[in-house]
Structure 1
């Protein structure tokens, strides 16, 4: 049973960590080498794509145009971002400017000989196996590939979560101290009283039986 409990806890932690890693903003410094729009037939990977751009009609069969931003890391590895609106859906980035970001990405396109380094803020994962792409939500030109990026939002988010957890634990401890523990103590005292009365009843019963037996012996004499 202990292994089942720890396995369930580990799976829960893994799920929460994966959810946060997918949803929270991440930052890449890359060189943009191209932009394009591609018709996509979405299937099992539909969960990893946003809804159609805000203001556009939805499609029933999952076939729609998706804007992409092609980039290269400083170490030469490629990366491809999708550029889709999130609108008022999840995750709550409220992104409605995908066309503007596409134009900005096109303007920031550069070559290896004359690179323009761009800080891409995005969420999501890149998987070639499942054909999923992170969604770029913001572009900003930076001086070079070694720029220091401090994830202020993530820091604030985890501090806020830690504060909420701390307050919840404190409230639970106070609730337990003021409500549950006294109730348990009262239950324990009540049970002790019941046990005491049961012991007294047993003693009384034995005494009465003894008296009855003594009375019977007296009759026989």
Structure 2
């Protein structure tokens, strides 16, 4: 049972971590090398994509903006640039066209680089054709600039506070309601056992008196 308990808790913790890692904003320092507009046919991976841009029609095939970038170490990255609208996650992004224009303005070459902080959510996975969604862009001084994730700090601190309060509520409920009930039930069972023992002893005495057993 202990192994099953920790397996369930570990699985739940892994799912929560994956959800938060996918949903919470992350920031990359990159050099934008190009933008493009692709016609994408969404299939089994459709739930990794945002809703169609606000004001456009729905469907599994649509045009999507992409931002092509390069990390300081030379590795490449592609971001999709989609509106999130009023859906999940709640970034309320409705300016993908403006973001696309900003990305074009911030393009640069290796000889004269412009370093850009790309705030995004999501993962990049080539096997399942998944791209992180760029939320905002801003030019920074260099590739070594330090970005403090204030939003994540606030959200995670709030979640930790909520979990602590839920744990305290459960601990008080357990102390005031469950443990007394368990103790009372155990005392009742013990009392029943004592009565059963007394009844058994009395019955044994009766048999000894009736049949003359010693």
Could you state the TM-score of these two structures normalised by the residue count of structure 1?
0.90
Q: Distance in 1 between matches of 2:9 and 2:169?
A: 23
Partner of 1:73: 71
How many residues in Structure 1 have an aligned counterpart in Structure 2?
Answer: 213
Q: Is 155-164 or 2-11 further displaced after alignment?
A: 2-11
Partner of 1:168: 166
Which aligned runs of 4 or more in structure 1 are off by greater than 6 angstroms? none
Residue of 180, 189, 206 corresponding to 2:187: 189
Gaps of 5+ in 2: none
SS at match of 1:44: coil
**CA separation of 1:167 and 1:89: change in aligned 2, threshold 3 A:** same
Q: Distance in 2 between matches of 1:202 and 1:44?
A: 69
Partner of 1:83: 81
Could you state the TM-score of these two structures normalised by the residue count of structure 2?
0.93
Q: Distance in 2 between matches of 1:7 and 1:206?
A: 51
Superposed, 1:64-143 pairs within 5 Å as 64-143=62-141
SS at match of 1:174: helix
Residue of 201, 204, 207 corresponding to 2:202: 204
Largest Rg, 1 or 2: 1
Q: Distance in 1 between matches of 2:187 and 2:177?
A: 16
- 1:35 matches 2:35: yes
Q: CA shift at 1:211, angstroms?
A: 2.2
**CA separation of 1:4 and 1:169: change in aligned 2, threshold 3 A:** closer
